[in-house]
């Protein structure tokens, strides 16, 4: 019955757009726990990990004592070698928010299983919603192998897929991790990372990762801003250059001309709350929020090198949003040109937010 049920689940999931599937147990991931604690101690973790304790992430039964199996699914979102024409957004941000899409599909899988096994069947859906080490679970379930960029690679879809899990109260036969990986001696991703966030194979400093920085609240560190290039949300560089992902389809946004990008960046910087919700509702950009996106757009504009943009963005030195004021100041200083230093000095004199004022001071010292 178990093998038959497992194959029925696999077939059903594949039919609704979840072609990647594996099963693991809720047993503790004891090898992972000390690694997560070490990351925290070395300050390599991201701001989003603060309240997710290593013990809970590595011990599924802490949150789900009734669990007997964990079904791991992958939903592909990009084709290997296909070009991303949007440039300023990572590929995963271009469609509907994957949390919603994956949860809808996993709900269908859960209800399908319930029809097969009866009303006593119990399940919970996890898509970035519980303190679970989802990537480690998927690896253990044979979904993929670890790349040196710390992403999971599936033999057929590369790293271009989302993860989601069903925690269930019936036991199914576990799958085994995949043997080996495709990295071998390749370190292209490590060498290509714009900020050096990939410190060494399989070690990521999340506080330097552009993808993390463009999502995190607060002020972007000064030493990261120039390296963001034109990116407004996310970063695909370590995936774009990877031979396993069909590398060579395009250059990084850092090297594109700004002709097609600048109008989009100006639109994002000037966007109203109503316009933002109308255009980006149901996407991960809406999850990040208008403030974060406008902050990032101002930095990206500063990286275009177009001094003619200063008159177009200087009004945001007095924007209602302190994040936008601070990062527009950096952009004006970075672009330079006639009058930019004076614009900054006047904005600094009028600024009442002490944190923003300090950011402006740092910018003035750099100009």
All domains of the chain in start order, with CATH: 2-168 (no CATH), 258-367 (1.25.10.10)
Angle between helical axes of 290-302 and 322-335 (0-180°, round to 10) = 10
Q: Would you give per-residue pLDDT tens digits along the chain (367 residues)?
A: 578 999 999 999 999 999 999 999 999 998 887 777 777 777 777 766 665 677 788 899 999 999 999 999 999 998 766 677 668 999 999 889 999 999 999 999 999 999 999 989 999 999 988 889 999 999 999 999 999 999 999 999 999 999 999 999 999 999 999 987 789 999 999 999 999 999 999 999 999 999 999 999 999 999 999 999 999 999 999 999 999 997 544 444 433 445 568 999 999 999 999 999 999 999 999 999 999 999 999 999 999 999 999 999 999 999 999 999 999 999 999 999 889 999 999 999 999 999 999 999 999 987 6
Pairing of strands 69-76, 123-126: unpaired
Two structure tokens written together for 174: 């576990």
pLDDT given for residue 248 in this prediction: 45
pLDDT given for residue 1 in this prediction: 59
pLDDT given for residue 217 in this prediction: 94
Residue whose token pair is 């919970």? 124
150 φψ region: left (φ > 0), alpha (ψ -120 to 50), beta (else): left
pLDDT given for residue 40 in this prediction: 73
Find residue 200's DSSP bridge partners: 203
Find residue 152's DSSP bridge partners: 146
pLDDT given for residue 44 in this prediction: 73
Q: How do residues 127-145 score in pLDDT, each as one tens digit?
A: 988 889 999 999 999 999 9
304-213-283-54 Cα dihedral, nearest 10 degrees:
170
Residue 71, H or E segment:
strand 69-76
pLDDT given for residue 52 in this prediction: 61
Query: Residue 289: CB partners within 8 Å, gap ≥ 6?
Result: none
128 catalytically annotated: yes
The catalytic residue among 104, 128, 353, 355 is 128
Query: How far is Cα 142 from Cα 145, in angstroms, rounded to an integer?
Result: 8
Query: How far is Cα 150 from Cα 160, in angstroms, rounded to an integer?
Result: 13
Measured CA distances, 33 to 37, 52, 57, 304 (Å): 6, 12, 8, 43
């Amino acid at each position: 019955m178990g093998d038959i049920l497992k194959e029925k689940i696999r077939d059903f999931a594949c039919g609704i757009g979840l072609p990647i599937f594996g099963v693991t147990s809720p047993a503790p991931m004891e090898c992972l726990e000390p690694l997560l604690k070490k990351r925290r101690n070395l300050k390599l973790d991201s701001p989003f990990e603060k309240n997710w304790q290593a013990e809970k992430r590595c011990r599924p039964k802490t949150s789900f004592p009734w669990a007997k199996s964990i079904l791991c699914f992958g939903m592909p979102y990009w084709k290997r070698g296909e070009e991303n024409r949007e440039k300023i957004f990572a590929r995963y941000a271009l469609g509907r928010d994957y949390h919603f899409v994956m949860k809808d599909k996993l709900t269908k899988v859960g209800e399908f299983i319930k029809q097969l096994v009866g009303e006593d069947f119990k399940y919970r859906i996890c898509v970035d919603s519980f303190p679970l080490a989802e990537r480690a679970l998927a690896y253990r379930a044979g979904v993929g192998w670890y790349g040196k960029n710390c992403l999971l690679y599936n033999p057929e879809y590369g790293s271009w897929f989302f993860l989601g899990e069903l925690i269930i109260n019936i036991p199914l036969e576990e799958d085994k991790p995949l043997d080996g990986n495709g990295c071998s001696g390749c370190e292209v991703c490590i060498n290509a990372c714009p900020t050096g966030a990939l410190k060494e194979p399989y070690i990521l400093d999340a506080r330097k990762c552009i993808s993390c920085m463009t999502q995190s609240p607060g002020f972007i560190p000064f030493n990261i801003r120039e390296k963001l290039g034109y990116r407004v949300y996310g970063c695909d560089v370590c995936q774009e250059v990877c031979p396993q992902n069909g590398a060579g389809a395009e250059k990084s946004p850092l090297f594109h001309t700004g002709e097609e990008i600048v109008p989009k960046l100006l639109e994002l910087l000037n966007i109203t709350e109503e316009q933002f919700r109308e255009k980006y509702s149901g996407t991960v950009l809406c999850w990040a929020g208008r403030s974060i996106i406008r902050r990032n757009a101002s930095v990206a504009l500063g990286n275009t090198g177009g001094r003619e943009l200063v008159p177009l963005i200087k009004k945001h030195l007095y924007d209602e949003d302190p994040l936008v004021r601070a990062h527009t100041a950096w952009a004006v200083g970075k672009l330079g040109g006639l009058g930019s230093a004076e614009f900054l000095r006047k904005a600094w004199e009028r600024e009442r937010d002490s944190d923003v004022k300090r950011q402006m001071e740092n910018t003035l010292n750099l100009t």
